[in-house]
Structure 1
């Protein structure tokens, strides 16, 4: 029969200094292990089935003598019940690691989502806008919450304070939260329905954005003021003014004009081809060039070292504020994008050109999939007539109510 170890007291244990194992009694197999470095820890030497194992019970003095004896007794009780304390501890550690791996906060998921999807966004500003809006409006409420714990109540806490006062921002925040939570679900960080979804869910609890916020259209120059504005713009100096001229003559978006490259133009064919990667709708757009647009381009000098038509100081594209600055310098409160609305109003109110023709000139996406499938051409010849009529209108003061007939094509 093995010799039973003398049961040491706390003071005696504290005086142990010799490296090696020291039986402390009280529970069979309980030892204080002292390393050569002087570090001390508790070890329970015990048989688990046919295998002798040393089970660590923690360091001394963080784990006291009494605590070590309690832990040793629990381990022995588990062995009697057929449980291997070592294997159970490994499983618990594995579960904890798995738990930690999936325990992600909303702010962590938002950052990971933006890093994963940000390359899909054409405009670098989108990344910053996503980051800023989520940090400003979502993080104070749900940023530190685990995504698996986010509920409808939390989403409402984010949205309700701004839904009626900052409706457009609130709708974007909702959509971005929904996207982040969808991503988190796919990654296995949460389960169940998305509490930020709109259809059949939040639409039942929040008023429709269109009902609580008036749509603010881009401020546009009135039709009868276009000739006066054009005369003023023609004498303005700088590439920004010339870029604004081309934007007006072609009814193009500011970004399309600011990014225009000389290889995109065929002046003999009266054609400007905007590549798909610079179009909002991601489809190549052929723009007819009026006589005035061609004269403008021919008079625009080419700058060495860049093929940008209207380069900035260092040869790069003009900033998105340049065209707006031109208008502010001219004392105008309208915005460059508003000229697309002016063009649309002109086509509808002062001409007989078909609505579809104007929509194609604006490069608007055809909402009807059936109509889009059947529309093969881009009516370039007819649109050239329309853009020439538009350029002529800009240069000539219009009389209210006058309607320009659409010329016949041969």
Structure 2
């Protein structure tokens, strides 16, 4: 029979400072645990009331250590009182650790019922603040859920979201807008993962793809329709530029500038005068307007500078290409120019025209035109090669591109804005 430890006094317990477990007596299995760092806490060591069996069929009782609080916040007398209460429960067949776990789970379920999926989505969005590439990415993340998920499941308790709810969100867009639906699914999974680690739900993540949605939805790569931006064949760009330069208006100038710089529509429409270094012949596009999320420097050819010279500055506005009532041009303005000219191409498609021209008509390494397009490099060797931005090579490339685009055009032959 195990030797019964002596009952220590409060003063004796206070003097226990050596790291380890110290039996204090008074209640079977009551110990004062002292950590290497000197922290002290109470532990009740006991065997579970329920018998268990090993793989060999041998019966045994599992040993457990249950924390009763720190010392001296919990006094010796209080620890013994708690210990006696728990020993009585064990005698009645109740496992205190399991009882405590069930109480925590009940508290968690009660807490979860107080937070909706929409609340969880906004909290998860705020928690990811530092992960977003730029302001656009941050806005798109929550906007996609506001459009597609919140009207369907936003008011439901996040703890109650199950697979049928996820399918109700994704089914209407999965086949028709697969790329968007894929992003929405990823964000649903992210919100529910946040809710789980934050204690608002438990169990499997119903927005998970592998072993879950993968079994009930077609794979995105099997149904995604690859839609390339319609591009004008590079051989036809000079003729198009001749026609474009004859058109008046800010949109025409913006489109010319977009073509000559091989920039995206949003980058051009948002261009500011203080981003232009005319002496250095560089346009510096800030990271928040670049898809890759990194500042991009664009060499300006003579023809690109001529376009800028034709743009009148609007008083009180830093925008280069301004709308009639001030501010930036809308995203449809440049596309409308192409529509009126009956050209079957998109503004973005001229970037493809530029790339095809560079591959077919020049000897520049592919890295140079890729950097000109501000494409993200995933290849480590290219990334190392591109560390200096290859500005001298890109300056020559953009000058050659402008020369090609403006073949047969007299220098400076740009139609500006007709005065009122």
> Shared fold (TM-score greater than 0.5)?
yes
Partner of residue 99, structure 2: none
Q: Does 1:350 align with 2:364?
A: no
**Post-superposition shift, 1:107?**
3.7
**Post-superposition shift, 1:151?**
3.0
Q: Is the 8 A contact 2:112 2:199 kept in 1?
A: yes
CA offset digits 1:269-319 (Å, max 9, x no partner): 221111223222221211111111111112222222122111223432222
Partner of residue 134, structure 1: 149
Q: Distance in 2 between matches of 1:280 and 1:128?
A: 17
Q: Distance in 2 between matches of 1:389 and 1:200?
A: 52
Partner of residue 257, structure 1: 268
Q: Is the 8 A contact 1:347 1:358 kept in 2?
A: yes
**Post-superposition shift, 1:241?**
1.2
Q: Is the 8 A contact 1:264 1:272 kept in 2?
A: yes
Task: From 111, 116, 130, give the equivalent of 1:101.
Answer: 111
**Post-superposition shift, 1:234?**
0.8
Q: Is the 8 A contact 2:112 2:157 kept in 1?
A: no
Name the larger-Rg structure.
1
Structure 1 unaligned blocks of 5 or more: 1-93, 398-410
Q: Is the 8 A contact 2:148 2:169 kept in 1?
A: no
**Post-superposition shift, 1:245?**
0.8
Say if 1:216 and 1:356 are closer, same or farther in 2 by CA, change over 3 A: same
Q: Is the 8 A contact 1:152 1:195 kept in 2?
A: yes
Q: Distance in 2 between matches of 1:275 and 1:143?
A: 35
**Post-superposition shift, 1:259?**
1.4
Partner of residue 391, structure 2: 380
Say if 1:95 and 1:202 are closer, same or farther in 2 by CA, change over 3 A: closer
Task: From 313, 320, 328, give the equivalent of 2:324.
Answer: 313
1:185-264 mapped onto 2 (5 Å cutoff) = 185-199=196-210, 201-203=212-214, 205-264=216-275
CA offset digits 1:171-230 (Å, max 9, x no partner): 132122112212322332112342212356434553321211221011112223212221
Q: Distance in 2 between matches of 1:365 and 1:352?
A: 21
CA offset digits 1:237-282 (Å, max 9, x no partner): 2211111111110001111111111222122222111122322222
Task: From 135, 147, 158, give the equivalent of 1:122.
Answer: 135
Say if 1:143 and 1:273 are closer, same or farther in 2 by CA, change over 3 A: closer
Say if 1:95 and 1:195 are closer, same or farther in 2 by CA, change over 3 A: closer
Q: Distance in 2 between matches of 1:305 and 1:368?
A: 44
Tell me the C-alpha RMSD between the 2 structures: 2.9
Q: Distance in 1 between matches of 2:325 and 2:139?
A: 21
Partner of residue 276, structure 1: 287
Q: Distance in 2 between matches of 1:110 and 1:253?
A: 31
**SS across alignment from 1:376:** helix
Q: Is the 8 A contact 2:338 2:344 kept in 1?
A: yes
1:40-55 mapped onto 2 (5 Å cutoff) = none
> TM-score normalised to the size of structure 2?
0.64
Higher RCO (Cα < 8 Å, 6 or more apart): 2
Q: Distance in 2 between matches of 1:351 and 1:249?
A: 16
Q: Distance in 1 between matches of 2:173 and 2:306?
A: 50
Say if 1:370 and 1:149 are closer, same or farther in 2 by CA, change over 3 A: farther
Q: Distance in 2 between matches of 1:198 and 1:243?
A: 43
How many residue pairs are counted as aligned between the two chains? 301
**SS across alignment from 2:135:** coil
